């Protein structure tokens, strides 16, 4: 078999660039979390899902230990995480901590709970509020016009009734405490 330059480049370039809009830190993290996996974990059926910006500490916080459990929960699901148009839906909840998907599009989006929702939420857990051991909130955006939020949650309310936000100035962080650090 003959490997021409163009066939080699044709293989390598998509491997390196492959629709990949990951910032460098996310690419490194992706390799740590999914050794040997392609740089972009494509998982959803009907939307782009390359992670873009990550914002930390915008919302009342979740508890880090609880978020680890929520990520395990999401990672074990075989059903997809569906979120209606123009809605934020809480897909996992425990101990006043939640993982939400917010959908900016005009149609329902169906995301793989494990490879997209849990993966995105893991970025907040790993890279946000790193100066403290207990509290975290973060929002990972996607080029598919959705974002995944880790924040405080009231598990007794409906999945679509609450949009994550910052608390009042008297209690900005909520029941799980302050987001410390970047």
Query: Residue 104 or residue 159: which is nearer to ligand NAG going by CB?
Result: 104
Q: Where does the chain show beta strands of DSSP type E?
A: 51-56, 62-63, 80-83, 88-94, 97-103, 109-112, 135-136, 138-142, 146-152
Query: Residue 40 or residue 135: which is nearer to ligand NAG going by CB?
Result: 135
* Candidate residues 30, 50, 142, 176; the one interacting with ligand NAG per rule CB under 6 A: 176
CA distance 98 to 70: 8
Binding mask 52-91 for ligand NAG (x = CB under 6 A): -----------x-xx-------------------xxx---
Instruction: Tell me the three state secondary structure of residue 125.
Output: helix
Q: Does 104 bind ligand NAG (CB under 6 A)?
A: yes
Closest contact distance (angstroms) between CB of 179 and ligand NAG is 12
* CA distances for 80 relative to 48, 74, 158, 162, angstroms: 15, 10, 18, 21
Q: Does 102 bind ligand NAG (CB under 6 A)?
A: yes
CA distance 118 to 157: 21
Contacting residues toward ligand NAG, per CB under 6 A: 63, 65-66, 86-88, 95, 102-104, 147, 176
């Amino acid at each position: 078999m003959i490997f021409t330059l163009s066939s080699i480049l044709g293989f390598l370039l998509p491997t390196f660039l492959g629709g990949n809009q990951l910032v460098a830190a996310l690419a490194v993290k992706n390799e740590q979390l999914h050794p040997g996996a392609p740089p972009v974990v494509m998982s959803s059926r009907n939307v782009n899902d390359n992670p873009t910006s990550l914002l930390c500490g915008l919302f009342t916080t979740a508890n880090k230990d609880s978020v680890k459990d929520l990520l395990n929960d999401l990672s074990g699901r075989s059903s997809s995480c569906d979120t209606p148009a123009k809605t934020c839906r809480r897909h996992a909840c425990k101990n006043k901590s939640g993982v939400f998907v917010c959908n900016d599009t005009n149609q329902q989006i169906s995301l793989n709970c494990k490879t997209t929702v849990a993966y995105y939420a893991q970025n907040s857990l790993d890279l946000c509020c790193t100066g403290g051991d207990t509290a975290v909130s973060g929002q990972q955006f996607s080029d598919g016009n959705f974002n995944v939020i880790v924040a405080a949650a009231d598990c007794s309310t409906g999945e679509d009734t609450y949009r994550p936000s910052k608390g009042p100035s008297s209690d900005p962080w909520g029941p799980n405490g302050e987001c410390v650090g970047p």
